[in-house]
Amino acid sequence: MNKTLQGYVNTHIEDTIATIEFFHPSHNSLPSNLLNDLTHKILELGANEEVLLIVIKSSGERTFCAGASFDELVSIENEDTGKTFFLGFANVINAIRTCGKIVIGRVHGKAVGGGVGLAAACDYCMASKWASVKLSELAVGIGPFVIGPAVERKVGLSAFSQMAINATEWQTAAWAKEKGLFNEVFDSVEQLDEYLTHFLDITKKMNPEALSGLKKVFWQSTDHWDSLLEERAATSGKLVLSTFAKETIGGFLKK
Q: What is the DSSP string of 58-104?
A: E-SSS-SB-EE-HHHHTT--SHHHHHHHHHHHHHHHHHHHHSSSEEE
- Count structural domains, the chain: 1
Can you give the pLDDT at residue 6? 87
154-201 per-position pLDDT tens digit: 999 999 999 999 999 999 999 999 999 999 999 999 999 999 999 999
pLDDT at position 5, please? 75
pTM: 0.96
CA geometry: angle at 227 spanning 224 and 229, to 5°?
Answer: 100
**Distance of alpha carbon 172 from alpha carbon 180, whole angstroms:** 12
Write the CATH number for 210. 3.90.226.10
**Contact status, residue 79 vs residue 241, Cβ threshold 8 Å:** yes
Task: Give pLDDT < 70 ranges for the chain.
Answer: 1-4, 255
Q: What is the pLDDT of residue 255?
A: 67
> Which candidate, 213, 107, 97, places its Cα nearest to that of 150?
97
- Expressed in percent and rounded to 5, the helix, strand and coil fractions of the chain are 50, 15, 30
| Helix ranges (DSSP H) in 141-204 | 148-165, 173-179, 189-203
Element at 21 (helix H, strand E):
strand 17-23
Q: What is the pLDDT of residue 58?
A: 98
Distance separating alpha carbons of residues 166 and 171, to the nearest angstrom? 10
Residue type, 168: T
3-class secondary-structure state, position 44: helix
- Structural domain that includes position 32: 3-254
For residues 55 and 11, what is the distance between their CA atoms, to the nearest angstrom?
10
